[in-house]
Structure 1
Amino acid sequence: MPVTLDADAAAVYKAFQEAGRPAYETLTPAEARAYYLAARLVTNPEPPPLADVRDLGIPAPHGAIPARLYRPHPVRLVGGLAPALVFFHGGGWVIGNLESHDVVCRTLAQAGELIVISIDYRLAPEHKFPAAVDDAVTATQWVADSAASLGIDATRLSVGGDSAGGNLAAVVAISARDGQGPALAGQVLIYPATDFAMAHPSHSEPETSVLLTHSVIRWFRDHYLTGAADIHDWRASPAKAETLIGLPPAYVLTAGADPLRDEGDEYARRLQEAGVPVTHRNFPGQFHGFFTMGKLLQQANVAANDIGAWLKQTI
């Protein structure tokens, strides 16, 4: 389908091209992580001040999973407890960490007037699939089990994430429905990766290969998965789940110039067909990754406020 970038998105894309931005697939994972982290200084807005920001360690069989709690003011309390969003950062399961998405988590906490807990799950290729899934499931269960001590209302617990993090949030929601986690009140899927078959038209259209290019997606996939069989495992491709019936209400965001656009659109549609309440927001003139670029792209701030309003209404 034809894609025309918004004027500000086109300007940002041009600036990245003129800056000689290296393609991630030409870098080692360690180099890509450093470059991705440095880019946040250019693209992230100023971090909003919050009432409390503190680091946590979540017990796991392999050692503590780093996490960070964000508590805004005001926060919506019922019986002295707040709703919460367990957040998984994007980065293709290879790059990204607590710092890369610090401003995003602060912004969502403020916009939704709720506690956000960001999870620093293990990355590939050092820790291949399903290590990130295992950490996401473990962390979500721990937050539910520790809810009272964290000031969280366990009945108003949701999950969310962008890109690879949206994939993990979708997988955690399915796992929790099937008894491997707590009951969830919502899921926020920001341009999620849902199908590693990569057969949707947006995976081959030239207009969608913007910043997140078709070749870098394959680079992420090859680092994350252990082999072709993993493509069909619903824990890697949540669209492969036997059914989506019984999942919590979903907010799904997609972008027009995004290789993941069509699989995100289809996942939102299939959730609706399964009887799940869905709010689907498409940003046709934006590219994959725009949500973290609120310093440069006003639509990122529009999206954050929209998600915050949805969270207030839903949980």
Structure 2
Amino acid sequence: MTLHPQIEAIISSMPIRSFAEMDVGEARQAHAAGAAARPKGPDMADVSEVVIGGCEMTRLSPKNADGSAVVFFHGGGWVLGSRATHDGPCRHLAAGSAATVFNVEYRLAPEHPFPAAHDDAVDVTRALLSGADESIDYSRVAVAGDSAGGNLAAAAALALRDEPATPAALLLIYPALDATMSTPSYLEFADGPFLTAREMAWFYDAYAQGTDPLDPRLSPAWAAQLDGLPSTLVITASHDVLRDEGEEFARAMAAAGCDASASRHVGATHGFFGWSHAAAPSRTAMTLAAGWLSETLG
């Protein structure tokens, strides 16, 4: 199995030095610089900065907004990333799904270790489901995220599933769901491409800071029960240390009676969801995700 040529070209153009070899400040700058070089994404009907559930976020309302909404948590290993780094993908999701996307700025580690980001995700999602924005239909709210953001989205859905208002859909993009880092794909792609096992250990060390890796708030894959979760789509990349845990989570959800499926994108790596400007597999994944959100949120 080989990388898609366009994915390989993107990877080859990136700096070789690993985030795990940098201090946190340098890693954040490098991550932000890479994201800033990508195109902006589709124009919106309205873009506003709001505070909901104690967190700042960007509210992206597309020209075809239909009242549905997506709460989006960015990736970056709970250490890197921001609303700005994920503005492009969020704009594409909004335009493609007709949903208003809330691109959340949650607290980052190591300054704010676990469970800070988890608690932010729960608080923001609960607030939006409870009427914090009167322009959206609270029965048509999805929770979504990529990588560490997928972790937060899954953890928020688990935390809220027994509350009166719950998400209608869950979109997990190559999510980090198992802090034990013990799946076969961790061995297969320990040295990458793009994301390495060493980098994931660096992220977990910064965020978890000694937390039991089996704590389901940190590792949703270890939740005792998965029943009652909303309709879920898990997007994975064939060449990714996180591939197996995402696909196993979808299978476990389906076995628990949930409407859940996984879509593996062959020839892709971790991070590919944000490269729709330059790679066909990325555009395919974005089209799938946006279409699924539109269909699921009705």
The TM-score with structure 1 as length reference comes to 0.91
Which of 5, 21, 24 does residue 29 from structure 1 map onto? Answer: 24
Which of 3, 6, 12 does residue 5 from structure 1 map onto? Answer: 3
User: 1:119 corresponds to which letter in structure 2?
Assistant: V
Which residue is 2:77 aligned to? 92
Q: Residues of 1 paired with 2:190 and 2:133: CA distance?
A: 48
8 Å contact kept, 2:129–2:167: no
Which residue is 1:75 aligned to? 65
The runs of at least 4 consecutive aligned structure 1 residues that moved more than 3 Å come to none
Q: Cα offset for 1:207? A: 7.1
Q: Cα offset for 1:281? A: 1.0
Which residue is 2:112 aligned to? 127
Q: Cα offset for 1:90? A: 0.2
Given the superposition, is the C-alpha separation of residues 307 and 36 from structure 1 closer, same or farther in structure 2, using an over 3 Å criterion?
same
8 Å contact kept, 1:194–1:237: yes
8 Å contact kept, 1:208–1:257: no
Gaps of 5+ in 2: none
Q: Residues of 1 paired with 2:136 and 2:119: CA distance?
A: 22
Q: Cα offset for 1:5? A: 0.7
Given the superposition, is the C-alpha separation of residues 193 and 258 from structure 1 closer, same or farther in structure 2, using an over 3 Å criterion?
same
The TM-score with structure 2 as length reference comes to 0.96
8 Å contact kept, 1:92–1:217: yes
Q: Cα offset for 1:210? A: 1.1
8 Å contact kept, 1:147–1:154: no
Which residue is 2:157 aligned to? 173
1:1-315 matches, cutoff 5 A:
3-16=1-14, 20-42=15-37, 44-60=38-54, 65-76=55-66, 82-149=67-134, 151-179=135-163, 182-206=165-189, 209-227=192-210, 229-315=211-297
Deviations 1:146-170 (A, max 9, x none): 3552x00001111000000001000
Q: Cα offset for 1:8? A: 1.1
Deviations 1:240-292 (A, max 9, x none): 10111110000100001100001111001111111111232110210000101
8 Å contact kept, 1:208–1:258: no
User: 2:129 corresponds to which letter in structure 1?
Assistant: A
8 Å contact kept, 2:2–2:267: yes
8 Å contact kept, 1:46–1:295: no
Q: Cα offset for 1:213? A: 0.9
Q: Residues of 2 paired with 1:102 and 1:148: CA distance?
A: 20
Q: Residues of 2 paired with 1:147 and 1:169: CA distance?
A: 18
8 Å contact kept, 1:45–1:293: no
1:53 aligned counterpart, secondary structure: strand
User: 1:288 corresponds to which letter in structure 2?
Assistant: H
8 Å contact kept, 1:161–1:189: yes
Deviations 1:125-166 (A, max 9, x none): 0000000000001111111223552x0000111100000000
Q: Residues of 1 paired with 2:222 and 2:159: CA distance?
A: 13
User: 1:91 corresponds to which letter in structure 2?
Assistant: G
User: 1:12 corresponds to which letter in structure 2?
Assistant: I
User: 2:284 corresponds to which letter in structure 1?
Assistant: V
8 Å contact kept, 2:251–2:261: no
Q: How many residues align?
A: 297
Q: Residues of 1 paired with 2:114 and 2:228: CA distance?
A: 25
Moved more, 258-267 or 271-280: 271-280
Q: Residues of 2 paired with 1:127 and 1:249: CA distance?
A: 31
